[in-house]
Amino acid sequence: MTFSLLHATDFADRLLYNIIPPLKAGMIVLADRYAYTAFARDATRGVDRQWVRELYSFAVRPDVTLYFRVPIDVSLDRLMARRVKLKFYEAGMDMGWSANPVESFRLFQGKVLDEYDRLVEEFGLNVVSAVGSITEQQRVVRDLVARHIRTTHVVESTETPDEQLV
């Protein structure tokens, strides 16, 4: 609960100082993670799902939400390639499910991914496969985002390769 509320406090502060003012000014705000991260992570830690949703009811609902989905092995490979050690909370070590960080990560993040799958349906998240190359992903992202914003120049629609991925 404390973990959940601390994050909510941080979120509220950023919402009020960094998100709402630029929105009022008509700007586009890009948020790296949003309330959905809390929904997935807190539920995995055993916090009541509906309680967390109501807790975050002060949040602005995003116009577009992109969910980059990867299988657990891919994310582990990527993390291990860059870093020697997994972070304590990232691996869900606080849950006491396993003393082995990699094993704990697999168990914990596996459950987090299950929670995200619920959210995709509940909140209509746009799933982007994050297995492919950065260029491939970016093409999908641009296409999804372009549908929601009016740009000064005409956006040429591509051959919509995203249909299978979405």
Closest CB 52 distance from another protein, rounded Å: 9
Closer CB to another protein, 4 or 109, in the complex: 4
64 neighbors 139 (Cβ within 8 angstroms):
no
What is the contact surface with another protein in residues (CB under 8 A)?
1-2, 4-6, 8-9, 12-13, 16-17, 35, 45-48, 50-51, 53-59, 61, 122-123
Rounded CA separation 9/128 (Å):
29
DSSP 58: G
Rounded CA separation 68/111 (Å):
16
Closer CB to another protein, 11 or 105, in the complex: 11
Element (H, E) at 113: helix 101-123
67 neighbors 125 (Cβ within 8 angstroms):
yes
Closest CB 11 distance from another protein, rounded Å: 9
Closest CB 33 distance from another protein, rounded Å: 14
Closer CB to another protein, 53 or 139, in the complex: 53
